[in-house]
Chain A
Amino acid sequence: MRDAIALALSIAVPWIAGTLCVRAATGGSPQPAAIAIGYGYLTGLFGVTLVMRALSLAGQRWSVVWIAAPIMLLALAAWFRLRPLGAARSPMRALGALATLTGAARAIFALLVLLTCVRLLMLGVEVVLVPLVPYDAFAQWATKSRVWYEYGRMVPFVQASEWGSAAGTMYFTDSHPEYPGTVPLFQVWTALCLGRWDESLVNVPWVAACVSLGIAFYAQLRRLDFGPVKAMFGTYALLSLPFLTIHVALAGIADLFVAIAYGLAAIAMWQWAITRQGSDAGLAVVMAIVCASVKMEGSLWVLTLVPGVVTALHRRLGLAMMGAAAAAAALYLAFGPSELRLLRYTLRTRFVDVSDLVYEHLFVMDNWHLLWYAIVAVVVVHVRTLFGSRLAPMTVTMLAAVAFVGVVFFFSSASGGVRDESITNRLVMHAVPAFVFYIALILRSSQHQAKTAPLYT
């Protein structure tokens, strides 16, 4: 029971604080408050890690009180800012339309909610029961969190080659000492709330983040004027994807957070492209920062948002930019050096054909249910509208994402990771929430969706 309360506290403190802060920052905008709830958890949890980093820098040993105090103060400040706006009192406004549903639609909605909740419940049970399973988790993520929890601060991790000669005993090492500390800090925060290290329970942020993704996704779909049933189907579809759910069930590695943060950043950016509300841009920036802070690839994913922003500001310029990038890539392939070191990747001009493996993972196995078939079908059917003024920023963003994955898979040293199947689905997963929303955007703007038309005319 004590553990349950501690875990609830570890989730509630950042979630409530994050929600209030997002709501306070966007209080004047007509966004549904459910968006603040959806975006609130990651925002709050990221805030917790910032406080932990600050305390570590200041030499103050971590404790729940030291970390929670500034977070709660922020939450309180946000609350007082919200009170005159009256915005905090209608947090579930997005769900109001449920009352207008007919019996059949309500039954479908209830079925989808039930399926989603049962799945999330099972994922929660799995996470609290199973010890750490993924290789990467015990090679480079939980190593840091275990050590940092023990010493109450971020003690340095160095390369194995430097470890031997490092002065003193407080220089640690693991498989990837250079990896960012945000995700380990999520685990340390949970362990601090628990009062002990438990390699199963420290992973509850993965479940909470998945729930928050569902809420944010649903709320953003509702903003697109999708009805509750369709928005719920989209949310259910996203949270039903086997590979995504496995990354919750086998919690402990950072990819799920990249996927959620990148997805929420892209969605907020696209909403900004539609509405031009500063609050959407703000949310996109916050989520982009979170995305860049959880994994090395996060920064590259954030870069794929830039063409979309440019296109939203000036469509022709954005499209020209994409065309120029494509031309530069073609020239590089033709005349560039055979190898080029970029961040952790080595780019190669030689094409490595791993398409059979990619096809197998996306279209044959059940990793993604029918998602990639749906994406191909929807994109092909609507190809003529994809670069129109309504969809161009979104299309350009997803093109940049596909280009990033394509370069990594087919023209980089990481193609070995595709061959041994260690990165194929994981890298793709980073873009999946954004892709699902992109499909929703296409359908929304589609004439097919809105009309029944005879095929023979």
Chain B
Amino acid sequence: VTLVPESMPGAPAISAAGGPASAVGAAAAAPARWPWWASGAVLFAVALAGVLVWIVAKNSGAERFGAVPPRTVNGAAFQLTHGGGHPSGTSFILESAQDGLVSLSAEIPPLAAEKYPRIEWDLRSVDPPNELAFAWRTRENPRRTYSKPLFWLSGRIVPLRLDANDGWRGTITGVALVARGNMQAPLEVRSLNLPSATAGATLAETFAQWGAHFPLKGYAITFPFDAERAHFMPVAKAFAIACGLALVVYLGLAYVRRRPIDWRVPWAIFAAAWIVLDLRWQVDLGREVAAAAERFGGKTSEEKALAADDAVLVALAQELRRALPPPPARVLVLSDNGLISLRVAHFLYPYNVSRNRSARDEEREKGRAPAPNRATLRSGDHLVLLFYSGFRYDADKGQLIWPGGDTLAAEVVVAKPDALLVRIK
């Protein structure tokens, strides 16, 4: 089947549509078996199939066409070897480090490393430890432990792809997870997954990655497709390669067969790639809208805020507002965590809110706001202290105490375990 169109049944339509004068080519060309647009679509589909074959070949394991069942080790199957923690349901909760280290390991039924080149950890933490590593042991070299660092991406651990060069060879008999640094928050170890790496499973995984939902969270305003970094090949790149391949094939065939080029075909290839790529994005956007409708539909502005991810901060801000005099009272929101203070301040406007941080402060260090200058605080000013270590409030003396010893009389308006609202006397 020749893929070079020889007649142009769509030419009148395109000419009428203001298209190029491709009728010139149409008139010059011999009768075609396929219309130009079909040639473009088929060429693109064939090229995309080629790219998929390449992706599968590169990412599948040694046994591409056999039956290789996926393996899963639940968190609860691990034994704690260092630090503190406990099993919880099917998970294991790591709570504290010992000498800056926490680890857990499990003996597993022996498996051939080359059949399972992909390792996926399912971990959850609101404040993950700085350093995480996956470690394993082989039957062939039982006295040696191999390891590979793990990285977080969009709230998940980036799947590892291991080969013999990493020490992932022979028969794997034991696996472990190691975390270094202070545990700011518990780390839930849900499972270790070793997915099947047959050709079929790899193809299915590729489509699953391309069809994955990209939630429109705050970071999406700058890098919405961060999770694509963990894909075998991001969909846009795959489509671009397929597009390029299809163009090369089309132009090559035309050159070899000494046929005129119908420039509508390259454009059809490009348009097909774009529209298919965009349909995926459109569907994803639709899923986002459906999720938003379910979560926020029919709610007032305040109810929406209470249904959002940081509802706890909204509720806190609402409680503070009820305790404050009418706007525009001056309110200083101080926290060691810049994001918490920013969100609470946002919900307090139109009060005259300050976080005592300039944009430069935020660029330089994203942590604690400096303690306010004592001289600038006035009677009637309110201070919200949220996990703040810049100065302290002595409830017995009714004083704010600066690290240098300065004091200022203040009274408590709202006292909560995690927040304090005081008013300068």
Contact with A along B214-226 (1 / 0, CB 8 A): 0011101111111
From known contacts A138-B346, A365-B236, A452-B262, infer whether A199 and B301 are also in contact, taking CB-CB under 8 Å. Answer: yes
Contact of A364 among B17, B228, B273, B285 (CB under 8 A): B228
The answer to the question of A247 belonging to the interface, with a C-beta cut-off of 8 Å to chain B, is: yes
Whether the Cβ atoms of A366 and B349 lie closer than 8 Å is no
Contact of A424 among B17, B223, B255, B376 (CB under 8 A): B223
Contact of B277 among A104, A363, A369, A424 (CB under 8 A): A369
Q: Across the two chains, which residue of chain B brings its CB closest to A367?
A: B225
**Contact partners of A449 in chain B: CB under 8 A:** 20, 263
Scan residues 85-116 of chain B and give those whose CB is less than 8 A from a CB of chain A: none
**Contact partners of A230 in chain B: CB under 8 A:** 17-19
> Interface with A: B21-29, B405-413, B417-425, which one?
B21-29
Scan residues 275-310 of chain B and give those whose CB is less than 8 A from a CB of chain A: 275, 277-278, 281-282, 285-286, 288-289, 292-293, 296-297, 300-301, 304-305, 308
Contact of B285 among A119, A173, A451 (CB under 8 A): A119
Q: Across the two chains, which residue of chain A brings its CB closest to B258?
A: A456
Whether the Cβ atoms of B18 and A370 lie closer than 8 Å is no
**Contact partners of B244 in chain A: CB under 8 A:** 373
The answer to the question of B260 belonging to the interface, with a C-beta cut-off of 8 Å to chain A, is: yes
Contact of B359 among A104, A122, A176, A233 (CB under 8 A): A176
> A247 vs B271: C-alpha distance in the bound complex, in angstroms?
24
The answer to the question of B415 belonging to the interface, with a C-beta cut-off of 8 Å to chain A, is: no
- Which DSSP category, helix, strand, loop or mixed, fits chain B's interface? helix
Contact of A172 among B19, B28, B301, B352 (CB under 8 A): B352
Interface size of A in residues (CB-CB distance below 8 Å) = 98
Q: Which among B222, B270, B355 has the highest number of chain A CB atoms within 10 Å?
A: B222
> Interface with B: A124-132, A273-281, A330-338, which one?
A124-132
> A100 vs B18: C-alpha distance in the bound complex, in angstroms?
10
Whether the Cβ atoms of A164 and B376 lie closer than 8 Å is yes
**Pairs across A and B, CB under 8 Å, 24 listed:** A101-B13, A101-B17, A123-B285, A129-B292, A130-B216, A138-B346, A149-B350, A163-B354, A172-B328, A172-B352, A197-B301, A198-B301, A229-B14, A230-B17, A240-B281, A250-B218, A363-B236, A364-B228, A364-B236, A366-B281, A369-B274, A369-B281, A370-B240, A370-B243
8 closest residue pairs by CB, A with B: A227-B18, A452-B25, A164-B376, A229-B17, A150-B350, A227-B17, A104-B13, A138-B346
CB within 8 Å of B: which residues of A? 97, 100-105, 108-109, 115, 118-119, 122-123, 125-126, 129-136, 138-140, 142-143, 146-147, 149-151, 159-161, 163-165, 169-173, 175-176, 197-201, 225-231, 233, 237, 240, 242-243, 245-247, 249-250, 253, 360-361, 363-370, 373-374, 416, 421-426, 448-456
CB within 8 Å of A: which residues of B? 10, 12-14, 16-22, 24-26, 28-29, 216-218, 220-226, 228-229, 234-237, 239-240, 243-244, 251, 254-255, 258-263, 270-271, 273-275, 277-278, 281-282, 285-286, 288-289, 292-293, 296-297, 300-301, 304-305, 308, 327-330, 342-343, 346, 349-350, 352-359, 361-363, 372-373, 376-377
